[in-house]
Amino acid sequence: MAEQTKYILPESEMPTSWVNILPLLKNLDPPLHPGTGKPASPEDFAPIFPNSLIMQEASPEKTIEIPEELLKILRMWRPTPLIRARRLEEVLGTPAKIYYKYEGASPAGSHKLNSAIAQAYYNKQEGVKRLTTETGAGQWGSAIAMAANFFGLDCTVYMVKVSFTQKPYRKSVMRIFGAEVFASPSNKTESGKKILELDPETPGSLGIAISEAVEDAVKHDDAKYTLGSVLNHVILHQTIIGQEVKKQFELLGEKPDILIGCCGGGSNFTGFIVPFVEQIMNGEKIELIATEPHSCPTLTKGVFEYDFGDTAQLTPLIKMYTLGHDFIPPAIHSGGLRYHGDAPILSRLKKDGIVKARAYNQLEVFDAAMTFAKAEGIIPAPESAHAIKGTIDEAIKAKEEGKEKVIAFNLSGHGFLDLTAYEAYMDGNLKDYEYPKELVEKSLEKLPKVGD
């Protein structure tokens, strides 16, 4: 068997600023105030976010320096390794070289901690006492709970009900770090109560949990809301991933032909690719592929329109690929990919043809996860396994075409707390869900009308 090779950047090479893609995206549509339909002003965001993050959300600067206090925390697990998946290459018999960036190396188990610590830091700086948030599979909840704990903040997490049941140990992780966790929809908020009245058995959705967390923050002066994906500032914080990858490839003397990542709200994939976008806009050929579940196919089947970020229509309108704000996706095990929309930055890159998207079924994704785990010894999060499925497909295509492609994917997190899903797969109890076409069509009828 081939030897696995790890490329670890020296600590001194860890990036000290974030890359802001906004100056490159001249045609990005602004968020709109839902009442007036006019571009939202910074004051509109003040009840839910601290000022420094609102500024980052619309910053014209090409780079933003990472505060020293954050660099110290980032060095706990960064730079993360770039690993050559030689054993997987051998299993597939592909001439392609496969690399993966391992974000599961963070103490929270995923890339989410990169933004969680930044958000906790800026909130702390501005005197906030408690953070509210939603979580799907629980990865973001674990990361923000850990980050809140590092900075001495309280933390309230609304966890999508289906994940609360499927992944009980994520809840334990959040509680260890001092967070209070409620299954969403809950009876703690008006938004939650309304949904429960309509359907007491609902599995919940990220859209609903966001409504609850936003409502909680708006109603309490000392609390602010945090979001683990979608927003410009979250993607900004995640660009540390792509910058490291770029340096790692430079040191290797190698150039990637294809970059692949899974997409829920778009933060790990977009943070992975942003540092490469300028050279691609200038003509360099690198394929960028976002992968998503067939049962929640925002990029491949959604419409590029203004929509609410949450179910109860509390957030500003954002222009993105969406399946409609009250679409409730089937209860697949990749809870982190069950979001009805996508980051505006990623949506724009997809619309402009810089990024391509592919959708996969749950079973083929777990097949890929098993192949990868057996070859490389890392059990991937089901979300990340979508990127693995995309990578394996590309590696097999390279074999058929006899091409020596260099493929890199972002392994956004490990799957040690997703073992219930693996058990279900191995027992033959996982099923594929049909794409819920009618539900999506019904939901899309309720898109807000903008500009006419």
Ligand X SMILES: *Cc1c(COP(=O)(O)O)cnc(C)c1O
- Using CB under 6 A as the criterion, which residues of the chain lie in contact with ligand X when the complex forms? 110, 112, 139-140, 229, 262-269, 336-337, 381, 383-384, 412-413
User: Is the CB of 269 or the CB of 306 nearer to ligand X?
Assistant: 269
Token pair 């950047």 is found at: 9
CA trace torsion 12, 13, 16, 22 (10° rounding): 180
- Please report how close the Cβ of residue 387 comes to ligand X at its closest, in angstroms: 8
- Please report how close the Cβ of residue 341 comes to ligand X at its closest, in angstroms: 11
User: Is the CB of 29 or the CB of 292 nearer to ligand X?
Assistant: 292
- Please report how close the Cβ of residue 389 comes to ligand X at its closest, in angstroms: 13
Do the strands 82-84 and 97-102 form a parallel or antiparallel pair, or are they unpaired?
antiparallel
Alpha carbon distance 84, 46 (integer Å): 44
- Please report how close the Cβ of residue 204 comes to ligand X at its closest, in angstroms: 16
For 169-201, the three-class secondary structure string (H helix, E strand, C coil) is HHHHHHHHCCCEEEEECCCCCHHHHHHHHHCCC
Sign (positive or negative) of CA dihedral 414, 418, 419, 422? negative
- Please report how close the Cβ of residue 282 comes to ligand X at its closest, in angstroms: 26
User: Is the CB of 112 or the CB of 224 nearer to ligand X?
Assistant: 112
Name the nearest CA neighbour of 417 among 173, 198, 157, 177. Answer: 173
Alpha carbon distance 179, 172 (integer Å): 9
Q: What is the DSSP string of 286-336?
A: -EEEEEEETTS-HHHH-EEEEEESSTTS-SPEEEEEES-TT------S-GG
Report H helices in 202-231.
206-219
- Please report how close the Cβ of residue 73 comes to ligand X at its closest, in angstroms: 19
User: Is the CB of 196 or the CB of 388 nearer to ligand X?
Assistant: 388
- Please report how close the Cβ of residue 268 comes to ligand X at its closest, in angstroms: 3
Token pair 């914080």 is found at: 237
| C-beta separation of 127 from 106 below 8 A | no
| C-beta separation of 158 from 207 below 8 A | no
395: its two tokens: 């590696």
According to DSSP, the residues that pair with 110 across neighbouring strands are 413
User: Is the CB of 108 or the CB of 217 nearer to ligand X?
Assistant: 108
* Radius of gyration, CA atoms only, the chain: 20
User: Is the CB of 192 or the CB of 382 nearer to ligand X?
Assistant: 382
- Please report how close the Cβ of residue 131 comes to ligand X at its closest, in angstroms: 17
Alpha carbon distance 444, 70 (integer Å): 41
- Please report how close the Cβ of residue 168 comes to ligand X at its closest, in angstroms: 17
User: Is the CB of 266 or the CB of 436 nearer to ligand X?
Assistant: 266
User: Is the CB of 265 or the CB of 297 nearer to ligand X?
Assistant: 265
Alpha carbon distance 261, 111 (integer Å): 12
User: Is the CB of 89 or the CB of 383 nearer to ligand X?
Assistant: 383
Alpha carbon distance 233, 230 (integer Å): 9
User: Is the CB of 267 or the CB of 295 nearer to ligand X?
Assistant: 267
- Please report how close the Cβ of residue 234 comes to ligand X at its closest, in angstroms: 7
